[in-house]
Amino acid sequence: MRHFLRDDDVSPQEQAELLALAAAMKATPYDAKPLAGPHTVAMIFDKPTLRSQTSFAAGTAELGGNPLVVDGGLAGIGRRESVADVARVLGGQASMIVWRTFAQAAVEEMAAMSGVPVINALTDEFHPCQLLADLLTIQEHKGELAGLTVAFLGDAACNMGNSWALAGTMAAMHVVFGCPEGYAPDAGVLVQAEAMPGGSVHVTDDPVAAVAGADVVVTDTWVSMGKEDEAADRRVLFSPYAVTSELMAHAKPDAIALHCLPAYRENEISAEVIDGPQSVVWDEAENRRHVQKAVMAWLYERRGVEPDE
Ligand code: NVA
């Protein structure tokens, strides 16, 4: 049984296959119906959501399936009943499970116990669906991924930082994190990323050095879901890493700017950048649906197949 819980749950070659499948599905969105039946995809959100819920629901319907949105507050997974019990119940109702929650260990337990493919729709540690959307968007605008330099500015010690380190290097990109000391991606993830053939990772606390010559500039909120208590301190700490037109001027002239949204204008990104000509954030948001359709179709096709078979 294959799952998509972290960026490296697929090989670099499989990542490229998923991107190609997503591009094909985007070209003809209503042709592929692998979930016809309809098979139900249960999607649970323990944290706020706009893009994940709508893109998974619309994408499931486009694949011929039945999107079943489960209210995480009502379900109370891990509080009202254990992850293992919920996994066995949902595995009996749905052909696939999509879950946004806090701990990565929880989605791993769901995957181990449910008997159906599980997709991580964001945890504190990783956001692998967003990374596929980012990569598809970059591929569309730059024509290729391998060899490009990506600067990630701001809070790199979050799900997006970890996922960029893994998925970016898997795509043979050079990923530079510009972040304050202590806010780099997870040390173990960086070691893994350093070992990816073709790609590289580098961490600096100098925002100008981070974006110098970059093809792609990426940022994310400074206050990830669950960190709201630290908001005031974070606004001060991360302010030198704001993606402004002045900072973008150090990147390549044709650099593009990405943000997974929600965006807080004049904090991590200026209105001038996110609403300006270098921004590709609306393509990036739309691409969530196309890449997740590819992931759902791909996992569904491989249900019951072990990774090394
Ligand atoms: N790092 C952000 C990503 C939002 C899609 C968060 O976890 O809130």
pLDDT > 90 fraction of the chain, expressed in percent and rounded: 97
How many angstroms separate the alpha carbon of residue 224 from the centre of ligand 1? 5
For the stretch 34-59, pLDDT in tens is 999 999 999 999 999 999 999 999 99
Residue 10 pLDDT > 80: yes
Q: Model confidence at 305, in pLDDT bands (50, 70, 90)?
A: low
- CA 53 to ligand 1 centroid distance, Å: 14
Write down the mean pLDDT value for the chain.
97
Span 83-109, average pLDDT: 98
- Give catalytic status of residue 278 as yes or no: no
Query: Residue 309 pLDDT > 50, yes or no?
Result: no
**Per-residue pLDDT tens over the stretch 196-208:** 999 999 999 999 9
Is residue 126 pLDDT above 60, yes or no? yes
Q: pTM for the whole thing? A: 0.97
**Candidates 51, 100, 289, 290; catalytic one:** 100
What pLDDT shows up at residue 306? Answer: 63
* Residue linked to tokens 């999509």: 98
pLDDT digits (tens, 9 = 90+) for 113-124: 999 999 999 999
- Look at residue 64 in the predicted model and tell me its pLDDT: 98
Over residues 58-78, the pLDDT tens digits come to 999 999 999 999 999 999 999
The reply to whether ligand 1 has any atom less than 6 angstroms from the CB of 58 is no
Residue nearest to atom 7 of ligand 1 (CA): 224
Interval 214-244: pLDDT, tens: 999 999 999 999 999 999 999 999 999 999 9
Using the predicted structure, report yes or no on whether residue 308 has a pLDDT greater than 60. Answer: no
Catalytic residue among 129, 158, 179, 260: 260
Atom of ligand 1 nearest to the CA of 52: 5
The band of 99, judged by pLDDT with boundaries at 50, 70 and 90, is very high
Ligand 1 mean position, distance from CA 203 (Å): 20
Residue 305 Cα to ligand 1 middle (Å): 31
Any atom of ligand 1 within 6 Å of the Cβ of 225:
yes
129 is an active site residue: no
Quote the pLDDT of residue 304: 78
